[in-house]
Amino acid sequence: MSEIAIRADGLAKQYRIGERQRWGRTLRETVAETFHSHLRRRSARRGGQAVATPLAPDLVWALDGVSLEVKRGEILGLIGRNGAGKSTLLKILSRITEPTRGSAEIHGRVGSLLEVGTGFHPQLTGRENIYLNGAILGMSKGEIGRKFDEIVAFADIDRFLDTPVKRYSSGMTVRLAFAVAAHMEPEILLIDEVLAVGDFAFQRKCLGKMQDVAGHGRTVLFVSHSMGSVKALCNRCLLLEHGKSVADGLPADVVARYIDQHELARAERRSRRVPADHGKEFFMHHSDALGDITVFCGDPITLQFDIEAPTSLPDVGIKIHVVSRTGDPIIGMGSLIQEEPASARTSRLWRVRCDMGRLPINAGTYFVNVHLGNARRSGRTASFLHAFKITVIAYDALGWGSMVPSTPIYWTPEWDIEPLG
Amino acid sequence: MQVRVHPDYQAPTQPTAPAGTRESMVVRIEPSTGWAPLKLRELWQYRELIYTFTRRDIKVRYKQTALGAAWAIIQPFFTMVVFTLFFGKLAKIPSEGLPYSIFSYTALIPWTFFAHGISQSTNSLVNNSNLISKVYFPRLVIPIAAVLGGTVDFIPAFTVLLGMMFYFGITPSLNVLWLPLFLLLALTTSLGVGLWLSATNLRFRDVGHTVNFVVQFWLFATPIAYSSSLLPQPWRTLYGINPMVGVVEGFRWALLGTNTAPGPITIVSALAALALLVSGAFYFRRMERTFADVI
């Protein structure tokens, strides 16, 4: 049995876009255009002008030389921005489209899940569609028959088996589609971002089932935009950008790099000098890169900015409030600007770095308000509202095997639980 | 390249392949050029899928219809009625000594099968565009299933024919045993034309729009309303280049005992049908590599 499940060598795919290649163009149009371009050339030649070359069609390389080796049993996550080439790679490996250049070798039977419910026909019943969809995915009739009850139980549509699928709710359709797909038993499974649909409980069920699948020595290639899923499920991750593979390694590392690059793009913009919303003589300097923070639940967060004050700042404290998207304050922190000797007091420019550590805030969008005020008097000297935006992505920070509960803040106290009697 | 394993990943207990692995198959993916091989063995491996698609097409056609299978009879029957009135009674076209109605109906049965096969297969790829862009299977499965779907319609129509033969007191001779071969000839022709048209229709959608016109024209170019004996030799034999000539005359000979025994016409028709099928298959396979991109 070969150690390698997939070996790809310089796979590249070129697409033609734009008006010149219209899909489903008519015969008449093709003939007319050939005739016209011929006429154009003839008249140009006669007039002594250079033959006008027609506009070069727009060619894009959806995939630009990707090589990789996937060992049997690996679960490879494929991430990248939209248009990076992830789906194209899967399509080529699924033999749906041919590469323009390069080659690949696949060892074993391939099952592709590029869309759930492929081939579902709305007029047919759930039962009939299980057989149809299963056959399309490559299962034999006997196989489907054996797994039929499992599939129905997984999808939880027992009562609706003999109703036409067009009467199903969208949730039921997805559950049924995924149930059939989850019971495929190919040696290699290629999955393209199909987990985005379905409610959360179901997503968990599917992830669990796929982990089963992978645990039996099957190889999985998994495209997803859900970094949480990729980190939870995969043991290797590949980052694609503009059709090329730019990072390959542990999911945590590659995902971090992906997120970094997002922010890096923004850091190209220069740092801005923003006046305070309250207390106009104060300014904050920060770059957009540091102003828009994206982290996973439980990741450390650091705020960094510069404060420019009209005068020196004796006895001034700085307060930072993390507020929810709707403006409710969630967490507050504060510090005196300086507790230092007199020499430092004349400075008007301060660099503040606030390492908040592993802030226990749950997934969501938050804003950071920065307030400057006199430590001894109440009231605010200056306020910077929404100076930062923090996006927290759901992730299993507590190691519960599920996403953290839905409270804005979570905590990890010391637990001591024991049975009585 | 060193790949570390995630701490939570549980290595499979046995490094051997999962249960039920077929002999280790290696598939090589690379750009292809020129003519592609037919890959008939792979097509055979997917025969269950052909059956599944055929069943699906048939089921879907009859779901939510009140008349169901009756539709398979209505078309050839009413065509026969119209022909009998206008060609048989009014124009008095000769029908080899047989009642005109049964003369034309016997020809209309395989014709309906053929016409249905063509119109279904021409649009089959376009109608299954979601499958073509999402799943791998030999694309030949689709037009084949489209054509095979017509066999089910054949049965009720044929039953009506038997009824008519009984009514007119015509008993078939042993020549009836040749019937399946003529049906096979009709299938071959239907599939051959269907392969050419379905692959072309994907790129040039006007094919789908004009196929009905082509079928109508073809109907009159086939000896359904008249007998091929109207033509003198050698034209009559050459007429066999339209494979449906061989089918129709063969049906009439096998069932009704006309004097068009398998001979030169049938041979010409069979060759023409085979040429259509083989060329259609190679053309289809060559165009197949662009299907997912063009659809």
Q: Say yes or no: do domains A60-109+186-261 and A273-419 share a fold.
A: no
What local confidence, expressed as pLDDT, does residue B199 receive? 94
Q: Taking every pair of C-alpha atoms in chain A, what is the biggest distance, in angstroms?
A: 105
B8, B52, B133, B203, best to mutate vs chain A, most A CBs in 10 Å: B52
What local confidence, expressed as pLDDT, does residue B117 receive? 93
Contact A121 B56 (CB under 8 A): yes
Cα–Cα distances (Å) from A260 to A147, A264, A294, in that order, read 44, 6, 9
Please, where are the H alpha helices in A95-240? Answer: 126-137, 141-155, 170-182, 200-215, 227-233
Nearest to B115 by CA among B255, B205, B222, B206: B222
The answer to whether B50 faces chain A, any CB pair under 8 Å, is no
Nearest to B179 by CA among B117, B262, B121, B77: B262
CB atoms within 10 A of CB A362: 19
What are the residues whose beta carbons fall under 8 Å from the beta carbon of A65, sequence distance 6 or more? Answer: A10, A11, A12, A101, A102, A243, A244
Arithmetic mean of pLDDT, B209-233: 89
Q: Which residue ranges make up each domain of chain A?
A: 60-109+186-261, 273-419
Lowest mean pLDDT among A134-143, A295-304, B5-14, B213-222: B5-14
What local confidence, expressed as pLDDT, does residue A355 receive? 86
**What integer best gives the mean pLDDT of chain B?**
86
**Pairwise CA distance, residues B196 & B285, whole Å:** 10
**Pairwise CA distance, residues A154 & A174, whole Å:** 12
Confidence of residue A210 (pLDDT cuts 50, 70, 90): low
ipTM: 0.79
Asked whether the beta carbons of A330 and A361 are under 8 A apart, the reply is: yes
Segments of chain B assigned E as strands: 26-29
The answer to whether residue B141 scores a pLDDT higher than 80 is yes
What percentage of chain B exceeds 70 in pLDDT?
91
Beta-bridge partners for B168:
none
**What integer best gives the mean pLDDT of chain A?**
79
Q: Which residues of B touch A28 (CB under 8 A)?
A: 206
The answer to whether residue B123 scores a pLDDT higher than 90 is yes
What local confidence, expressed as pLDDT, does residue A55 receive? 39
What are the residues whose beta carbons fall under 8 Å from the beta carbon of A270, sequence distance 6 or more? Answer: A287
The answer to whether B59 faces chain A, any CB pair under 8 Å, is yes
Q: Taking every pair of C-alpha atoms in chain B, what is the biggest distance, in angstroms?
A: 89
Domain A60-109+186-261 indexed as CATH 3.40.50.300: yes
Residue A146's φ and ψ, nearest 5 degrees, are -65, -35
- pLDDT (tens digit, 9 = 90+) per residue, A291-311? 677 777 777 888 888 888 877
Query: B144 in helix, strand or coil?
Result: helix
Q: Which two tokens stand for residue A22?
A: 């219209």
What are the residues whose beta carbons fall under 8 Å from the beta carbon of A386, sequence distance 6 or more? Answer: A367, A368, A369
The answer to whether residue A79 scores a pLDDT higher than 80 is yes
Nearest to B276 by CA among B207, B183, B222, B195: B195
Q: Regarding beta strands A382-393 and A364-374, do their DSSP bridges make them parallel or antiparallel, or are they unpaired?
A: antiparallel
Q: In what order do the strands lie in the sheet with A301-308?
A: A272-275, A283-286, A301-308, A349-357
- pLDDT (tens digit, 9 = 90+) per residue, A23-59? 445 666 666 666 666 666 666 555 544 444 443 457 8
Asked whether the beta carbons of A381 and A282 are under 8 A apart, the reply is: yes
What local confidence, expressed as pLDDT, does residue B197 receive? 96
Contact B135 A112 (CB under 8 A): yes
Total beta-carbon pairs less than 8 A apart between chain A and chain B: 160
Beta-bridge partners for A75:
A220
What are the residues whose beta carbons fall under 8 Å from the beta carbon of B87, sequence distance 6 or more? Answer: B93, B100, B104, B225, B226
The answer to whether A396 faces chain B, any CB pair under 8 Å, is no
Question: What is chain A's length?
Answer: 421
Burial class (CB in 10 A: 0-12, 13-18, 19+), B259: exposed
Contact A250 B63 (CB under 8 A): no
For residue A108, give the nearest of B16, B25, B30 by CB distance. B25
B26, B28, B135, best to mutate vs chain A, most A CBs in 10 Å: B135
What local confidence, expressed as pLDDT, does residue A49 receive? 46
Q: How far is B135 from chain A (nearest CA, A)?
A: 7
Cα–Cα distances (Å) from B162 to A415, B110, B214, in that order, read 85, 14, 30
- pLDDT (tens digit, 9 = 90+) per residue, B77-91? 999 999 999 998 888
Beta-bridge partners for A223:
A78, A192
DSSP assignments along B197-232, one per residue: HHHHHHH-THHHHHHHHHHHHHHHTTTTSS-GGGSP
What local confidence, expressed as pLDDT, does residue A82 receive? 82
B132 against A347, higher pLDDT: B132
For residue B130, give the nearest of A26, A97, A118 by CB distance. A118
What local confidence, expressed as pLDDT, does residue A45 receive? 55
Residue in chain A closest to B9 (alpha carbons) equals A235
Residue in chain B closest to A112 (alpha carbons) equals B135
CATH of domain A273-419: 2.60.40.2550
Going by the DSSP 8-state scheme, the letter that residue A1 receives in this structure is -
Q: Which two tokens stand for residue A374?
A: 């006199």
- pLDDT (tens digit, 9 = 90+) per residue, A301-345? 888 888 888 776 666 788 899 998 888 888 999 887 766 555 555
What local confidence, expressed as pLDDT, does residue B2 receive? 37
Confidence of residue A271 (pLDDT cuts 50, 70, 90): low
Going by the DSSP 8-state scheme, the letter that residue B86 receives in this structure is I
What local confidence, expressed as pLDDT, does residue A360 receive? 84
Q: Which two tokens stand for residue B12?
A: 């499979």
A236, A248, A402, best to mutate vs chain B, most B CBs in 10 Å: A236
Q: Which range has highest mean pLDDT (A108-122, A280-294, A404-418)?
A: A108-122
Residue with token string 């000098």: A273
Residue with token string 């504060």: A334
Q: Which residues of B touch A142 (CB under 8 A)?
A: none
**Pairwise CA distance, residues B264 & B250, whole Å:** 12
Nearest to A93 by CA among A69, A120, A117: A69
Q: Which residues of B touch A26 (CB under 8 A)?
A: 204-206
B286 against A44, higher pLDDT: B286
**Pairwise CA distance, residues B171 & B254, whole Å:** 11
